[in-house]
Amino acid sequence: MTNKILAVFISAALLTPPAFAAKKDAKKSAQASKTAQAVGFFKPTQKITTGSVIIGKKRIDYQAVAGTLVVHPKGYDDVLPPKDSKAFKNEIKTPQAEASIFYVAYFKKGEKPGKRPITFLYNGGPGSSSVWLHMGAFGPKRVVTLDDTHTPAAPYSLIDNRYSLLDASDLVFIDAPGTGFSRIAGKDAAKSFWGVDQDAHAFAEFIKLFLSQYGRWNSPKYLFGESYGTTRSAVLVDEMENDEAIDFNGVILLSQILNFDLSIDGPESNPSVDLPYELGLPTYAATAWFHHKLPAQPKNLDGLIKEVENFSMTEYAQALAKGLTLSPKEKDAVAAKLHNYTGLPVSYIKKANLRIDGGEFEKNLEDAEGMTTGRLDTRFSGPTLDPLSKEASYDPQSAAISSAYVSVFNDYVRKTLQYGANEIFKPEINIPHWDFRHQGNPQTTNVMPDLADAMKQNPNLKILLNAGYFDLATPFYEGIYEMRHLQIPQKLFSNISFHFYQSGHMVYAHEPSLKDLHQTVSDFIKKTDNLK
């Protein structure tokens, strides 16, 4: 700063009495805040109710808060330009993008915030609300559905959830931008929130606002994501640690997918990458075992899975790696073993060149009966829509339980939580142009480096992977493979724990697995919350 400029600066300061300047600044700040609200689309909302639930043999009284918090994209500036400027007029015409994010929080009564863990839960999609985890897994109420067949139409049953996670942690169920009661608006709103990085940033902003509003900055903190929610968790925990300086105690993953190159959905579009077939095979074997399609039906599922995992990574992987150099004799031998592990005809396996994707397996396993096997949970079956199709054209499990979840939540949120009387709840939305680029990378999404970086930045961070043996949306062995290949020091691998269930993608849709899931997650939180 030159002497001349410095002199002018000091003179101006002396001409403005401090008290007057403070009042003027406060008035300008208030005007800016009022103007910001005027040009914005949303305001925070809140409805408070109370309830109780028996978990184990203990009664837990809780306060439920259903509401919204308003977040903005990265780079948002909450200070508006001067009213007489062109920039202000443009902002009035087309305000910056913002999202009103809906949540339902459950707080155990009588607990001090610093002595009580808090867990943020969300589903995936991308484009899904949190209704599934909320009403099926860990909320204080849950919907009752049939185990592996279609649940009859309404009326449905809503019961106290004795497997709610409220015994171990306060809970916050979050609807992603645009889903549930969450809404987006403003200039380029879709581009601002619907993408790998944009979505994670929105969740990071939400969590910071929530911690401030409810005084939870010093609480033990956890993320719980299902399906694409595991992708989100990897990016989110890394952003929270590096950009926001907020460490988490643990990340709980359910039905994991971090590297989309490993997906069993359509790997033929990525020729020469054969890992999806190898990682999906153990789920094919578990499914064929469940439906009694194996030529030699073993009694023990765990033993079968270990055998198939070994075959997948050795003989099967070697055969696929040979490509066109695989001899007819070798191909026949591998096809025969695939028949023994999947129940599919040898002729079909050879016709598929030993490579069968998820949709083809679902369509063909029970084809003789005119049935299609489920994708999210392969224990489910339903009538095949098109007998001449190459692959499954719908998911019998989703068709079997979705109505129950959606109907019951719409009733519960309005009558019990007293929220959304005149609003439309969107359980899932179609996002055809989700931005799968991560940090500007145009290649297939892979957030394994994010989770690895978070674990290295915070060497005390603990990870729990939960997966169902009958999940063909995100096969359990894929999750194992990803964890084994994180770029972390070997000693940090001990921070990762695994648990598997005889259930599908929505592990909690099978009550014995829900009971097991509750105990596993509850124990994980109690071991890692750093509370004495």
pLDDT classification of 7: cutoffs 50, 70, 90: very low
Q: Give the confidence band of 210 by pLDDT, cuts at 50, 70, 90.
A: very high
Q: Assess whether pLDDT exceeds 80 at residue 202.
A: yes
The rounded distance, in Å, linking the Cα atoms of 435 and 121 is: 22
Choose the most confident range, by mean pLDDT, from 9-18, 50-59, 146-155.
50-59
User: Is the Cα torsion angle 377, 379, 385, 390 positive or negative in sign?
Assistant: positive
* pLDDT tens digits, 481-521: 999 999 999 999 999 999 999 999 999 999 999 999 999 99
Is residue 273's pLDDT more than 50?
A: yes
3-state SS record for 381-401: EEECCCCCCCCCCCCHHHHHH
Least confident of 49-63, 148-162, 193-207, 220-234: 148-162
CB atoms within 10 A of CB 480: 19
Q: What is the DSSP letter of 441?
A: B
Lowest mean pLDDT among 384-388, 464-468, 504-508: 384-388
Tell me the DSSP string of 144-188. Answer: E--SSSPPPSSSPEEEE-TT-GGGT-EEEEEPPTTSBT-EEESBT
For 27, 128, 359, the CA distances from 391, given in Å and listed in that order, are 65, 24, 5
User: Given this model, what pLDDT does residue 80 score?
Assistant: 67
What 8-state DSSP symbol labels residue 460? T
Q: What is the pLDDT of residue 495?
A: 98
Rounded Cα distance between 474 and 377, Å, is 10
Out of 159-173, 261-275, 302-316, 345-359, which region has the weakest mean confidence (pLDDT)?
Answer: 261-275
Q: Rounded mean pLDDT of the chain? A: 91
Work out the average pLDDT over 450-474: 98
Statement: residue 205 has pLDDT above 90: yes
pLDDT tens per residue, range 117-154: 999 999 999 999 999 999 999 999 999 998 888 899 98
User: With bands split at pLDDT 50, 70 and 90, how would you rate the model's confidence at 91?
Assistant: low
Can you give the pLDDT at residue 3?
Answer: 38
Identify the band that residue 27 occupies on the pLDDT scale cut at 50, 70 and 90: low
- pLDDT, residue 443, reads 86
pLDDT in tens, 68-77: 999 999 888 7
Work out the pLDDT band at 399, boundaries 50, 70, 90. confident
Per-residue confidence band for 20, with pLDDT thresholds at 50, 70 and 90: very low
Which has more confidence, 7 or 409?
A: 409
- Answer yes or no: is pLDDT of 38 > 90: no
Hey, what are 402's tokens?
Answer: 């979705």
* Amino acid at position 187, single letter: K
Which letter does DSSP use for residue 57 in this model? T
What is the DSSP secondary structure assignment for residue 516, as one 8-state letter?
H
What pLDDT sits at residue 365? 96
Please give the distance of CA 100 from its chain centroid, rounded to a whole number.
19
